[in-house]
Amino acid sequence: MYLLELESHHLRCTFPFDRCTSVNIKLVFIGYNLRKSLVEAVERIKNRIRGFEFIFYDTYLVDKDLVDLDKVKHDLKTADLVLLDVRGGDRVSKLVTDILGKTDNYVVALVGGSSELINLTRLGSFSMKSFEKFRENPFFKKVIRRKSIDYEFIVKMRNRFEKISKILPFKLFRDAQNYFLIQKYYENPNTENMYSMLLLLLKEYFGFEELEKPDPPIELPQYAILDPRANKFYDNVEDYLRNYELKDKRLIGLLFYGGHHFDQQIQTVKRFIREFEKRGFGVIPVLSSDLRYYIAIEKFFMKNGKPLVDIVIDLLWFRFAGGPLGGDHSKTFNVLKRLNTLFLHGIHLSSYTLDQWLESRHGVPPVETVTTIILPELDGRFEPFVVLGPVKRVYQDYIVEEYIPVTDRVDKMVRRAIKWSNLRRKENSEKKIAIIIYNYPPGPENLGKAGYLDVFSSLANLLDYLRENGYSIPTNISSDWIKDKLLEIIGKCRDGVCNECNGLITVKPSIYLEWFNELPRDTREEVIKNWGRPPGELMVCNEGIVIPGVLLGNVFIGVQPTRGVHENPDKIYHDRELPPHHQYIAFYKWLEKIFRADAIIHLGTHGTLEFLPGKDIGLSHKCFPDILIGDLPNIYVYHVSNPSEASIAKRRSYALIINHNTPVLTTSDLPEELLEIEKLINQYYEVKQYGGGDDLEKIIFERAEKQGLTGESIDEIHDKLYEYKYSLIPKGLYVLGSKPSREDIIDYLVAISRFDRGEVKGLYRLVVEDMGYSYDELLDKPSGRTESGKLYSEVLDEASERARSIIIETILKNNDPWKILTNTKRLRAYIESIEYLKKIYRAIVSSNELKAIVKALNTEYIEPGPGGDPIRNPSIYPVGRNMYQLDPTNIPTETAWIRGRLIVDKLIEDYRRKHGRYPETISFILWGFETMTTGGETIAAILYLLGVKPIWKSIYIRDLEVIPLEKLGRPRIDVVVNICGIFRDTFYNLVELLDQAFKLVANLDEPLDMNYVKAHYLEDEKLYGEVYRIYGPPEGLYATSLTKLIETGKWVSTNELVNAYIESMRYGYGGGKRSVCVEDLFKNTLSRVDLVAQIRSHSEYELIDLDHYYEFLGGLKSSVEKQRGGRVDAYFIDSTRERVKVESISDSIKRSVWTRLLNPKWIDSMINSGFNGVRAIADRVENLLGLTVLTDSVEDWVWDKVYEKLVLDRERAERMKEINPYAYEKILRKLLEARERGYWKPSIDIEDLYSEFRDL
């Protein structure tokens, strides 16, 4: 049959097969780690076959260019057999597919992070590449019915191939069966299995028939309960509990990997079991080799349909349905809702060694952030602790990885799980709850500050609901009583100095010193370095350190301590690493050690605990959020519109997020001044039909100019008024637990029916098209006219009334659509639209945040749900869910790509119209807040400016396709990207994608006048060496110091503010490096910027609603202008409407102030929201000052009008003064600051402003 001749150290073989004539057998393995078991198997083969060569490459090292890539390529080309376990990494994936796609050696994809990698598999007659063609065979279509490939499909295919190969003697089937058999060996890694895997490959495909027959795979059970002491598996929970000595104790579920990762996790599993049992708790430790983990959850954590465990800890990557291949997630939720408990999530670290993790600032690497944190959050899993990871060992001349538990993290997870278990078991009357509100920036006007939440009314509702559910709380606690009591308490300490401590809760310095000494030494030294020795000076009186708050039975309502920068302005520029001061530490330690809270509720968006120094994700025991939250369960009530910052709270303070609703959105309507202009325009259109209107035209232009309404025609002014009139504004602040009125729900459903939803057409569109018009045409030009002379705006008004009528009749009155819609040929489209709106209606009325909070306090399962803008994404309903961020693995979405391209086309068109040329460089602000809501419209715009298109191959692997210049039709435009810290921490995979795109374009062989990226890169490389295009705050910092400077007024000149922006944002990201200070390069790139832009993503937030808009867009604009030495175009891109609108920052500010700050409808709704509502008005005045200073785009008439509306209108002024005198004083102070600094030159008498301020 064959002849073997051993000569020296080589194998000479003679085979009848051409593939087996080489002297040596060369096996190359590219994988994410090298196990000791595989090395032992390789050594056994080497002892049998002396020409056997084994080469291993670590995917991480290849991807980061830390190995000789030429050697990697050579070894792949010359290998006889390549084994692949490539789960991610853009560079390594591309290298492997490029090389092996052109070779004819054997390739086995043991694990593949993309279909491209899996399709490289070729073994004998079987190849995955030809599998799709194979599936088209009529015979096999019956065998292989499913179109999509997920985990369930793979399992079925394995089983079918095994059966078919026994019946049909085709080599193809035997090779396919061998492929699946090899995977089974690999999925159960031990020395015997690894050896058998190699034997199978050598015998079947390299002719070594004299080798012994491989043993069948030694497999762990598909799923089972493990008793590690007896080394015994149980296939049912009854038998396990019968033999378990702690079966009558409280039980904790532990879910971990069988199969491939079992050997890596087993020591950590044993540690968990030991620590729970030591504390008197029983454990049900469940392994699952099957990636449909919900099967094991239901089988072992429930009995007779009832939960056996108080809480579950899982150590798994990905989601519970199908792991990396995906599956039916509805099956997961069906099981988890019936189990009805929480899942705490342990991180199995892989790409970093434990030493690298401890040393890193960001903690968990980007790819693993997706797979081990973000995806599990979609199932509702939270509290991400790094509980195990690899250490490097040298074995047999190879560097192998062994996995060990992170003992202090395991132990902390155990303690926290027990705290959650206690909540599940305790009577509500015995539970002690700490509710934390905020006062940031510090000052009485900001007490209870939270994003769009009436905190004091919400507190009163929450206390009432807790009392109704058995919590020990006094009766008759009103929102005013809470507010006044807390104002009294914080009033005794101003600017961090406490003059009177009578009636205040305090901690003795000696007790605090004991707590302080429990902190790690490094952290103690940092605190002392910045704040002095305990007890420090902030919030300290003779009795000790002040704990601001009030006790109400078993509930403590506390005010979160400040960060100290407002009391110590010299620290504003140095708060990147600023540790909490002593009073901040004492506050959280008091909650745990003296009050003995069973849980904390952080109420509203947002506090500062989650932004304290420490790792970004995967915290260690030295990270301040980890230190201060201690072992306390943390329930965080968060605004549904803000999943980006909620994700920070979830990951850094171990928060169980309960999202709350947003205020009702209603149309702005027009203030009286603009309403008069609208009436004149309507008169003008009437008389214009008969040849008149010249006098009216002049009057309209004069009055419009006086109100800041500029336009080249009456039509243009009309369209702006129409835009203002139908802009959506929040109707005051939201009160937790409140139900929207019937009219509010109708308004909301009408608003969302203005938009198409994929295949579902918007009700507005259907009505307009039934009337015989183009909806898009009407939206583009409301001043247009129909053939009969009717204004398009009038048609839209009629459509709005018709849509409202349909909604009332079919949804609220539940009449059959076919009875209402008798004159349409598009009944099916109407029904689809109405059914969509019905689904949203049902979700809204089923929302119940208060019930969700009580469920969380009972350790019950809180179903996960998305967050975002309520108009763009109505699927945020019902609220009261455990909010998660958008899955980053498909950003930009297809819709975002379309809209991003449209944004770019409009920006370029407007710039060329003004300047007669293409912009060479555009600078974009890039936020996580926007990315999660739009699906990545800014990302899409940046990529399209560069002339590249993203291609997502899997959750691990991305590629970029260059758009040829002839197809692009313009030069490639350079981009300077300014990111916030939240984007960096939640979307670093996209930072890497953008960096990859910049480098790809910079290296294209194209003329410099058609590739501005390349032209600028060459200049920068010559001057600075390293080149970056993505800039942001340093790691550990999330924004700039500009907001604190504007808040405190502690600045002298605009140059000082510009310097503060540059100092905060001068850190480059990309090329495998993070947070590299490159100030000169940053300034140089800014000097080339032709225009700056930012996308508005949320209906609730206009330009004046967020301080971060003036901070980032304003800070960028003023910084560019300083480096350029002249003005730069600035755009605010409104993506919240039916049609994307690209407009100047000046026009955007005008719309913002007319629909908000100058609009009685908005002002009165805020005043009606009480103390926090008046504070919201004051915040907008402060934001207007920030925009005035940093954008130079706010005209004097705006400030005149603000003064008229908020001060000269005595009725409103007196109401504000009565409700929140501190916020009213802030309004006056900011008006005076604008005047005194020269940013407002009043055209009216403002003496009343000075006298009013003196009186206060």
Tokens of residue 704, six digits: 């419009």
Helix axes 509-516, 582-593, angle to 10 degrees: 90
Q: What angle do CA 894, 895, 897 make, to 5 degrees?
A: 65
Q: What is the pLDDT of residues 1047-1074, one digit of tens each?
A: 999 999 999 999 999 999 999 999 889 9
Q: Cα(1095)–Cα(532) distance, rounded to whole angstroms?
A: 43
Distances (CA, A) of 331 to 255, 309, 791: 17, 20, 52
The neighbouring-strand residues paired with 224 are 287
Q: Cα(971)–Cα(471) distance, rounded to whole angstroms?
A: 66
Query: Starting at the edge strand that comes first in sequence, how are the strands of the sheet with 126-127 ordered?
Result: 52-58, 25-31, 81-86, 106-112, 122-123, 126-127
Task: Give the domain 223-421 fold.
Answer: Rossmann fold (3.40.50)
Q: For 1063, which DSSP code?
A: H
The neighbouring-strand residues paired with 558 are 436, 549
The answer to whether the CB of 355 falls within 8 A of the CB of 944 is no
- Residue 1058's closest CA among 1075, 1084, 1040? 1040
- Mean pLDDT estimate for the chain: 91
Whether the model pTM is above 0.85: yes
Q: What is the pLDDT of residues 343-363, one digit of tens each?
A: 999 999 998 999 999 999 989
Mean pLDDT across the stretch 1091-1115?
A: 96
Q: Is 470 helix (H, G, I), strand (E, B) or coil?
A: coil
Which residues touch 221 (CB under 8 Å, ≥6 apart)?
233, 235, 258, 287, 289
Mean pLDDT across the stretch 1112-1128?
A: 97
Determine the number of helices (DSSP H) and then strands (DSSP E) in the chain: 54, 43
Quick one: pLDDT band at residue 282, thresholds 50, 70, 90? Answer: very high
- Residue 355's closest CA among 414, 412, 406? 406
Q: Cα(488)–Cα(483) distance, rounded to whole angstroms?
A: 9
Quick one: pLDDT band at residue 1249, thresholds 50, 70, 90? Answer: confident
Quick one: pLDDT band at residue 150, thresholds 50, 70, 90? Answer: low
Q: Given this model, what pLDDT does residue 152 score?
A: 67
Distances (CA, A) of 713 to 701, 908, 1147: 9, 24, 16
Q: What angle do CA 837, 839, 845 make, to 5 degrees?
A: 100
pLDDT at 572 over 80: no
Q: Cα(1017)–Cα(992) distance, rounded to whole angstroms?
A: 18
pLDDT at 445 over 80: yes
pLDDT at 1140 over 80: yes
Q: What angle do CA 171, 174, 177 make, to 5 degrees?
A: 150
Q: Given this model, what pLDDT does residue 1217 score?
A: 96
Tokens of residue 955, six digits: 């959750």
Q: Cα(1082)–Cα(1066) distance, rounded to whole angstroms?
A: 6
Q: What is the pLDDT of residues 873-921, one digit of tens each?
A: 999 999 999 999 877 777 898 889 999 999 999 999 999 999 999 999 9
Q: What is the pLDDT of residues 1001-1012, one digit of tens each?
A: 999 999 999 999
Q: Cα(864)–Cα(320) distance, rounded to whole angstroms?
A: 13
Q: Given this model, what pLDDT does residue 6 score?
A: 27
Q: Cα(293)–Cα(319) distance, rounded to whole angstroms?
A: 9
Q: Cα(676)–Cα(460) distance, rounded to whole angstroms?
A: 42
- Residue 1093's closest CA among 1044, 1132, 1144, 1040? 1132
The length of the chain, given as a count of residues: 1256
Q: Kind of pairing, strands 544-547 and 505-507?
A: antiparallel
pLDDT at 834 over 90: yes
Q: What is the pLDDT of residues 1175-1217, one digit of tens each?
A: 999 999 999 999 999 999 999 999 999 999 999 999 999 999 9
Residue 928, Cβ density class (10 Å: 0-12 exposed, 13-18 middle, ≥19 buried): buried
Q: What is the pLDDT of residues 180-196, one digit of tens each?
A: 899 999 999 999 999 99
The answer to whether the CB of 981 falls within 8 A of the CB of 1039 is yes
pLDDT at 325 over 50: yes
pLDDT at 136 over 60: no
- Asked if residue 441 has a cis previous peptide bond (ω within 30° of 0), the answer is yes
The answer to whether the CB of 283 falls within 8 A of the CB of 276 is yes
Tokens of residue 759, six digits: 């295949």
HEC secondary structure over 506-546: EECHHHHHHHHCCCCHHHHHHHHHHHCCCCCCCCEECCEEE
Which residues touch 358 (CB under 8 Å, ≥6 apart)?
620
Q: Cα(959)–Cα(642) distance, rounded to whole angstroms?
A: 29
pLDDT at 1146 over 70: yes
Q: What is the pLDDT of residues 455-505, one digit of tens each?
A: 999 999 999 999 999 999 999 899 999 999 999 999 988 888 888 888 899
pLDDT at 135 over 90: no
Q: For 777, which DSSP code?
A: H
Tokens of residue 390, six digits: 């690899």
Distances (CA, A) of 834 to 747, 764, 821, 825, 838: 15, 11, 11, 16, 6
